[in-house]
Amino acid sequence: MEMLPPLAKGLVTSINIFLLTLLCACPLGMVIAFGRMNRHLVINGPIRLFISVMRGTPLMLQLLVVYFGPYYIFRVSLAGYPPFLAVIIAFSINYAVYFAEIYRAGIQSIPVGQYEAATVLGYSKLQTFFKIILPQVIKRILPPMTNETITLVKDTSLAQVIAVAEMFTIAKRLANAQSSVLALAVAGLFYYIFNFIVAMVMEKCEKCLDYYR
């Protein structure tokens, strides 16, 4: 029982990582998606390379680069650079890249006739995107976004590599101190409940958009 308070504290940190990452990655992904879809090679070229690198290397490595990079690569020592901030930066960029590809798939799956009908009716480009295209995109991308969101919950445990005291870090510490895997099992249960709630919320969102096809 005495393991619950520290685990709960760790869980709060995990939830913070999760929420802040979502908050940053969702809009950032939109920016990357539009860069990727830009027809000028000077814009879409670098973005493609960036996406390729971010998807092709481990998130754990990216986390280390973001945290230790300033010092070991650029010899800049940032006094008081909190590991938590490094986690948010690394996670946000990594997830934004995945979100961007999901957005792109969603946007490109909307039939060109929708744009044409909107154009003929006089909608501006912004109106067309926000009123006609985006609502349909959101409906289509919800299932893959649920996948990514659930993966993000589990990925928060990677923050342990730069000693952020999230739930997994604490569970491991407790397990070592008590020579028992009980703390890890409880942490596992917490992750499962967390994801169960995430999946439920996302399913609810899908249901809300069920009124049209």
**Would you list the DSSP string of 43-105?**
HHHHHHHHHHHHHHS-HHHHHHHHHHHHHHTT----TT--HHHHHHHHHHHHHHHHHHHHHHH
208 near other proteins (CB under 8 A): no
If the CB atoms of residues 57 and 108 are measured against other proteins, the closer one turns out to be 108
DSSP string, 155-200: HGGGGGGGT---HHHHHHHHHHHHT-SHHHHHHHHHHHHHHHHHHH
Q: Which of 2, 41, 204, 211 binds other proteins (CB under 8 A)?
A: 211
Does residue 126 touch other proteins according to CB under 8 A?
A: no
Q: Per-residue contact track with other proteins, 138 to 167, x per CB under 8 A?
A: -x----------------------------
**Shortest Cβ distance from residue 118 to other proteins (Å)?**
8
Nearer residue to other proteins within complex by CB, 130 or 196: 130
Distance CA 96, CA 70 (A): 22
Give yes or no for residue 210 binding other proteins (CB under 8 A).
no
Does 116 bind other proteins (CB under 8 A)? Our answer is: yes
Neighbours of 4 (CB within 10 A): 12
Interface residues with other proteins (CB under 8 A) are 111, 113-114, 116-124, 127, 131-132, 135-136, 139, 211-213
